[in-house]
Structure 1
Amino acid sequence: MKSPHKFLFLFLMVSSTCMVLSSSNWLMTWIGLEINMLGFIPLMMLKETPNESETMVKYLVPQSLGSTLFITSAVASTYLNGLQVLMPIAMCLKLGAAPLHFWFPPVMAGLSLSPAFILLTWQKIAPIFAINSLDPNLVPSVLPIALVSAVWGGIGGLNQTDIRALLTYSSIAHTGWMLTSIVGSAPTLLAYILMYVLINLSLYACLINKHTKLHKQLFSLEQPFNSFLLTVSILSLGGLPPFAGFMMKLLVLYHTKASLLIISGLILGALVSLFFYLSLTFSPLMEMTKMRLTKAQMISKPLIMFFLSQTLPLSLLLFLF
């Protein structure tokens, strides 16, 4: 696909998300979600392989099902008020939250790194804010889904060796935290999404030049500083204090109005995820401590800005609040 076409579909994807965020009725929200889906699907085709075509179909079917369920429940709720509860469930299907995540891991496995990064970050914004704009009485209905997502995301990543599968189940777990932050305050949800995008951006910057898939091959001693940044980003994604990932989860726990059972499930899922991330990065960290980094190696890497963003979360919080 040529670049002008990519910019056109990228513009459609961005503008449709802005349309969902600014819409005042369900019809405009549904139209924005449909344009967003149609704008992202062509961006999935980078190498034009049959595997990518299959991935596009796997993405299209559940997204269309979620949009159809959303607009059907919106129309039917005019006559039956109880059907409004299907609207947040439809958005959870589009988000890939557990137990509605059946399409998410296969799609992530067949994507290249760039569209996978967009699916993990930007494509979550429209559905999550669509849920946030619903009737406040409907929002607590997504809390059981948030609980299952947080726990399943932690357990599902335990036996994964592929970095995309690891990021997939991490995204499912973070989706649970995002859904819980909706019950709190809007600034908390915005801060969580911004920090989550920032962490994934630092991971993407570390992985973009690597052609490996197994996590054991990611930490190269030939590029110790890049491997160190990758380790910091993974630990921040897992929520290790005092990184940004821990601070954003602490914000959710402080502002949420969820029950003790939901909060306990979120913490349990975060602990399981953190256990796996620590076991993943412990050995590379021990190896890197035996090496000497010269001044040239430290200064010649522009990724130091991502390291600072992960190690100075308190400054980010003071800026946002």
Structure 2
Amino acid sequence: MKSPSKLLFTLLMVTSTCMVASSSNWLMMWMGLEINMLGYIPLMFMKENTSESEAAVKYLVPQSLGSTVFIASAIVSTYFNSLQILTLIALCLKLGIAPFHFWFPPVMASLQLLPAFILLTWQKIAPILAISSFSLLLVKTLMPIAMISALWGGIGGLNQTDIRSLLTYSSIGHTGWMLASINSNHMVLIAYLTTYILINTSIYTFLIKEYTKSYKQLFSSKEPMKFFVLAISILSLGGLPPLVGFVMKLLVLMFTEAKMMIIFGLIAGALISLFYYLSLTFSTLLSFNKMHLTKTFMTSKQAALFLLSQILPLTLILFSF
């Protein structure tokens, strides 16, 4: 695909997300979600091979199903108010949250790195904002789904060795926490979503030049400082205290109105995720010594993104609460 086409579809994807965020009725919200899907699918084709075509079909079918259920339930709920829950289930399907995540790992496994990280980050914004626009009483019915997603995101990543699969199941777990943050202060949701996107962007800048799949290959580089910072970013994504990922989870626990069983499920999922992130990075962190760290350095772009992902969310907290 030529570069102007990519710019056009990127602009379409960004404006459709803004359209969902500012919509005041279900029809405009549905149109924004459809335009967002149609703007993202051409961006999935980086090398135009068979695996990308397969990923596009696997992405298109559940997204179309979710859109159909969304608009149908929105129309029917005008007469039967109890069917509004189907609109939320349709958004959960588009979001790829457990137990509606059957399409998410296969699509992630077939994509190149850039469209995979767009799917992990930007494509979550529109469905999350759409869910947050519903009444709080209706959103509370999704709290068991948030707990299942957090638990499944932790359990699914235990036996994974591919770094992309780890980030996929971590995304499923974090989406559960985002749903829980909807049931609290809206600034908590914005801060959590911003933190998640910034940390993933920081990880992406380190992975983009590394043509490796296994985490053992990833952390066996001759540039220890670069991968030391990558390990810190991954641990922050896992929620290790006192990193910013832990602060975000703590804010959700402080402000959420979910039941105690849901909170225990969220914490259990986060601890399982942190376990495999620690097992991923612990041996790497122990292998570094002072001499290695003083002889290596990061590029200015990587250092700026790392500091941004760790500091900006904390400033959001100070100005918002």
* TM-score, reference length from structure 1: 0.96
Q: Write the distance in 1 (CA, Å) between the matches of 2:130 and 2:20.
A: 7
Report SS of the residue matched to 2:143: helix
1:239-250 paired onto structure 2 within 5 Å: 239-250=239-250
Aligned counterpart, 2:293? 293
1:8-47 paired onto structure 2 within 5 Å: 8-47=8-47
Aligned counterpart, 1:303? 302
Runs of 5+ consecutive residues of structure 1 not aligned to the other structure = none
Q: Write the distance in 2 (CA, Å) between the matches of 1:275 and 1:231.
A: 14
Once the two structures are superposed, what CA deviation does each residue of 1:176-225 show, in whole Å capped at 9, x if it has no partner? 00000001011000000000001001100110100000011111341111
Aligned counterpart, 2:188? 188
Aligned counterpart, 2:93? 93
Q: Is the 8 A contact 1:232 1:310 kept in 2?
A: no
Runs of 5+ consecutive residues of structure 2 not aligned to the other structure = none
1:37 aligned partner, one-letter code: M
Q: Write the distance in 1 (CA, Å) between the matches of 2:298 and 2:172.
A: 36
Report SS of the residue matched to 1:134: coil
Q: What displacement does 1:136 show?
A: 2.4
Q: Write the distance in 2 (CA, Å) between the matches of 1:302 and 1:128.
A: 29
Aligned counterpart, 2:219? 219
2:114 aligned partner, one-letter code: S
Q: Write the distance in 1 (CA, Å) between the matches of 2:30 and 2:151.
A: 30
Report SS of the residue matched to 1:174: helix
Q: What displacement does 1:161 show?
A: 0.6
Q: Write the distance in 2 (CA, Å) between the matches of 1:291 and 1:166.
A: 31
Report SS of the residue matched to 2:202: helix
1:115 aligned partner, one-letter code: P
Q: What displacement does 1:291 show?
A: 4.1
Q: Write the distance in 2 (CA, Å) between the matches of 1:41 and 1:299.
A: 34
Task: Tell me the matched-pair count.
Answer: 320
Aligned counterpart, 1:102? 102
Aligned counterpart, 2:129? 129
Greater displacement, 306-315 / 100-109: 306-315
Q: Is the 8 A contact 1:131 1:139 kept in 2?
A: yes
Aligned counterpart, 1:158? 158
Distance 1:300 1:94, change over 3 A: closer
Q: Is the 8 A contact 1:9 1:42 kept in 2?
A: yes
Report SS of the residue matched to 2:137: coil
Aligned counterpart, 1:276? 276
Aligned counterpart, 2:262? 262
Report SS of the residue matched to 2:46: coil
The RMSD of aligned alpha carbons is 1.4
2:112 aligned partner, one-letter code: S
Aligned counterpart, 2:140? 140
